[in-house]
Amino acid sequence: MNRSSSWAHEAIAVFAKDWLLELRTRVALGAVVLFAVTSVVASGFALAPPSGVPAEVKAALLWVVIFFAAVAGLSRVFVVEEETRTADALRLAVSSTGVFAGKLAFNAVLMWTLCAITVPLYLLLLEAPLRNASLLVIVVLLGSTALACATTAVGAIVAKATMRGALFGVLSFPVALPPLLVVIHATKAAWLSDNAWRVAAGDLQVLSGFMLVIVPASVLVFEHIWSE
Amino acid sequence: MNRTVQILTGIWVAGVTVAAFLWLPPAEGFRSPEAARIVVFHVPCAMLTFVAFLVNAVYSWKYLRSRDPLTDSKANAAAELGMLFAILATVTGSLFAMEQWGSAWNWDPRETSIVMLMLVYAAYFVLRGAVEEKSKRARLSAAYALLAFPAMVFLIWILPRIVESLHPTNTLFSRSGLDPKYRITLWSFFAGLLAVFVWMFRLRLRVEIAEARLRRQHRRDTMPEATPAGETR
């Protein structure tokens, strides 16, 4: 088996193992979704019409909710390996690239699940205007993937430190900020703009570019975080 | 850095500072032409912040390859100095913003990016505080510094160019951007500040090395009959 296909196989195995574990306990899913639903309901209660909150504020609020919900769950996938002391076994069995790719895929799917529940609920409860639904789907998909890409390696760092919960938020905010800023701008475009695709085109390019840079950077440093 | 270079640095920085007030003409076209001189101090501080961040990233990368504790100290020293210059750049910028734009803080993209830069450094120091074991701390903080680097490049180089900014762009390297006298003073101050940066960097390292030596000494003194590792009773 050549090298490239071997790490892909390993990644799929890690991904399948992590989802199997997750579906048994549902710790990460529960934390993330509950956090998001609670904050959406609370903001819906406070900000629903006729409160007159502009759509710009709503776009920023949506992504703040998604980001903080993600912070509640995205480090779980590495923390659980340290807590159950299975990290050493995983290190022996799988290459570090395989582990990173598997965990990244896990976090991406977790983010998509989170967004699939949060965004429709948010649109419903806060009555956000929606000019361009297909653009919104693309923006949410790219944005949530970018957040997963930005924070997965940070989760691996945090799992090795003390006071993990607080630390993950502090460390992931600066790394996640570029995609957050861009995705808020694009969401505003999808809600308000008549020629939304043209307004958001630059944002989508920056988002994809960011992922193309942060993922190789993460793979490079992950080797050093993961190996003892 | 030997004594002569230190004295020359002092004279150079003092000379440029005096020149910025006596030789440099007030900048016409600004709301307060006299206050606009602050630009020649403000811009070099912002540039050095980025230099320090770059030095931090380079030493972090070197640390991951070599695992040499001194390299980790260098990365940390660069981050500390970067934080210092970021604060200086923000304060001088805010003073000028108050004169020119009427408020000390305008959420201009460059203002946003320097705050984020400070947040990255703060997170870096929090991470260093949260890991007890020295080699692990060095490894994790180096990894974090390298992860934050692409995000910073985005915030400093890309964001101010895609969002409308109150700051002018491309003034430093284009011919039409800046009055020649301002350009000379600004770059001279940058050169002086760079020398101060190198000086402080080396001082910080000497403190670090002295601390490590003291700790070793202390361990030897308190445990005179310390057994070598592996020979515990």
Residues A82-87 have a mean pLDDT of: 84
Cα of B72 to nearest chain A Cα, Å: 14
The domain spans of chain B are 3-163+178-212
Distance separating alpha carbons of residues A220 and A212, to the nearest angstrom: 13
pLDDT tens digits, one per residue of A24-76: 888 888 888 898 999 998 888 887 767 778 888 888 899 999 999 988 888 88
| pLDDT for the residue numbered B225 | 59
| pLDDT for the residue numbered B125 | 92
| pLDDT for the residue numbered A132 | 82
Residues of B contacting chain A (CB within 8 angstroms): 64, 116, 119-120, 122-123, 126-127, 130-132, 136, 139-140, 142-144, 146-152, 154-155, 158-159, 162
Is the separation of the CB atoms in B178 and B37 below 8 Å? no
| pLDDT for the residue numbered A4 | 62
Residue A77 has pLDDT above 60, yes or no: yes
> Which of A95-99, A112-116, B221-225 has the highest average model confidence (pLDDT)?
A112-116
Nearest to B150 among A170, A206, A213 (CB): A213
| pLDDT for the residue numbered B143 | 92
Residue B2 has pLDDT above 60, yes or no: yes
Residue A213 has pLDDT above 70, yes or no: yes
Candidates A158, A160, A213, partner chain B, best to mutate (most B CBs within 10 A): A160
| pLDDT for the residue numbered B168 | 64
Q: Which residues of B touch A178 (CB under 8 A)?
A: 151, 154-155, 159
pLDDT tens digits, one per residue of A131-164: 788 888 999 999 999 999 988 999 999 888 877 7
| pLDDT for the residue numbered A108 | 94
* B127/A171 Cβ within 8 A: yes
* A162/B132 Cβ within 8 A: yes
Residue B25 has pLDDT above 80, yes or no: no
* B146/A221 Cβ within 8 A: yes
Q: Give counts: helices (H), strands (E), chain A.
A: 9, 0
pLDDT tens digits, one per residue of A183-205: 998 898 888 877 888 888 888 88
- pLDDT band with cut points at 50, 70 and 90 for residue B57: very high
ipTM, two decimals, is 0.83
Residue B1 has pLDDT above 80, yes or no: no
Residue of B nearest to A153 (CA): B147
The alpha helices in A95-132, defined as continuous H runs, are 96-126
Residues B52-65 have a mean pLDDT of: 92
Percent of chain B residues topping a pLDDT of 90: 23
| pLDDT for the residue numbered B165 | 58
pLDDT tens digits, one per residue of B97-153: 877 777 777 777 777 788 888 888 899 999 988 888 888 899 999 999 998 888 888
The domain spans of chain A are 3-226
Residues of A contacting chain B (CB within 8 angstroms): 150, 153-154, 157, 160-163, 167, 170-171, 173-175, 177-178, 181, 202, 206, 210, 213-214, 217-218, 220-222, 224-225
SS (H, E, C) A132-170: CHHHHHHHHHHHHHHHHHHHHHHHHHHHCCCCHHHHHHH
Cα of A100 to nearest chain B Cα, Å: 14
| pLDDT for the residue numbered B43 | 86
* A214/B150 Cβ within 8 A: yes
* A162/B131 Cβ within 8 A: yes
Query: Could you please report the per-residue DSSP string of chain B?
Result: --HHHHHHHHHHHHHHHHHHHHTSPP-TTSSSTTGGGGHHHHHHHHHHHHHHHHHHHHHHHHHHHH--HHHHHHHHHHHHHHHHHHHHHHHHHHHHHHHHTSSS----HHHHHHHHHHHHHHHHHHHHHH--SHHHHHHHHHHHHHHHHHHHHIIIIIHHHHS--SS-SSTTTSTTTS-HHHHHHHHHHHHHHHHHHHHHHHHHHHHHHHHHHHHHHHHHHH-TTPPPTT---
